[in-house]
């Protein structure tokens, strides 16, 4: 009688342990997935921002068609006036 109870106890504990481990694994997996999605989102956002910033700052000279900045009154490459 006592032996049966002990065996049942051990079996139950083992099941609980296994369940706990599974839950932990799933939680870690979800956290990793969320972290990866966050990292990918951040990378995409940074790339988009960089691309947009380049599009705004990059301005092609009408005379030589090379990228220059509208911050300068004249093209840095050929000296043509940039308006
Ligand atoms: Zn130019």
Spatial distance between the Cα atoms of 68 and 75, rounded to a whole number of angstroms: 6
Give per-residue pLDDT as tens, 5-43.
566 565 666 555 666 666 677 788 888 888 899 999 989
Q: What pLDDT does residue 17 have?
A: 61
How many angstroms is it from 66 CA to the middle of ligand 1? 6
Give per-residue pLDDT as tens, 40-73.
998 999 988 887 765 556 788 989 989 888 888 8
How many angstroms is it from 56 CA to the middle of ligand 1? 17
Do the Cβ atoms of 40 and 52 come closer than 8 Å?
Answer: no
Q: What pLDDT does residue 45 have?
A: 93
Spatial distance between the Cα atoms of 68 and 5, rounded to a whole number of angstroms: 83
How many angstroms is it from 54 CA to the middle of ligand 1? 18
Residue 82 has pLDDT above 80, yes or no: yes
How many angstroms is it from 59 CA to the middle of ligand 1? 10
């Amino acid at each position: 009688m006592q032996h049966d109870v002990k065996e049942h106890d051990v079996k139950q504990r083992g099941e609980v342990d296994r369940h706990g481990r599974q839950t932990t694994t799933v939680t870690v997996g979800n956290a990793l997935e969320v972290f990866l999605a966050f990292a990918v989102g951040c990378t995409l956002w940074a790339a988009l921002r960089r691309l947009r910033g380049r599009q705004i700052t990059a301005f092609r000279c009408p005379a030589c068609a090379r990228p220059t900045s509208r911050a300068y009154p004249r093209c840095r490459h050929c000296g043509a006036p940039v308006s």
